[in-house]
Structure 1
Amino acid sequence: MPVVRFDVLWPDSSVMKCLSPSTVIRNFIQEGEVYSLLEFVTMAELGLNQASDRVREVYGYACSAAADQLEIIQTKADTFRGQPAASVQVLRVD
């Protein structure tokens, strides 16, 4: 399956390099877009879960890398939960 890499800019100006095991993530996040923290986490969850499901369809098992990436995103997002105006920008999707 084609791997998609995407970089996101967090509210603390840190950049996280992320990975999806499927191009389906492009249906959920767009390069250059700024999302509210909640919206980004929701879209990442939907996209990475669907990517994992696609791996399951092809190989017969879910993708642990997608689950791991989602957990990393959720953990980072938790550090900004008290900031109502927190946003995340998708810098790159390839």
Structure 2
Amino acid sequence: MPEMRFTIRWPDGRQESCYSPSLVVREHMTAGESYPLDDFLARVRTSLTIASDRVEKLYGFPCSRALGQLARIESAAKGFSAAPDPRVAVESFEI
């Protein structure tokens, strides 16, 4: 299963490199697109959960790195929830 990294830009302009154990993220987000915070969170939850489930199917246990990445993203997103129309941009995918 090919792993990948994807770079996001938070509403404050800070970039973050994120991990996925699967390329499934590319099925739910597009490089160069900007998403409303809630939409971005739904997309990243879906894709990283699918990725972790794929690892579990292959190896018998979920991917702790994918679930940890999801937890970090969700934690960071809380800081932007009060901002007017916060958006997260998906900058790039790297395999």
Counterpart of 1:80 in 2: which secondary structure?
Answer: coil
Describe how 1:1-94 pairs up with structure 2 within 5 A.
1-94=1-94
Instruction: Give the TM-score taking structure 2 as reference length.
Output: 0.96
Q: Identity, % of aligned pairs?
A: 39
Contiguous gaps of at least 5 residues in structure 1: none
CA-to-partner distance for each residue in 1:34-88, whole Å, 9 max, x for gaps?
Answer: 0000000110000000000000111111000010000010011000000131000
Runs of 4+ residues over 4 Å off in structure 1: none
Count how many residue pairs are aligned between Structure 1 and Structure 2: 94
Normalising by structure 1, report the TM-score: 0.97
Gaps of 5+ in 2: none
Q: 1:5-46: CA deviations, max 9, x gaps?
A: 000000111001001000111111110010000000110000
- When the two chains are superposed, the root-mean-square deviation of aligned CA atoms in Å is 0.7
Whole-angstrom CA distance in 2 between matches of 1:73 and 1:84: 19
Once residues 8 and 17 of structure 2 are traced to their aligned partners in structure 1, the CA distance between those partners, rounded to angstroms, is 7
State how far apart, in whole Å, the 1-side matches of 2:2 and 2:76 are.
Answer: 26
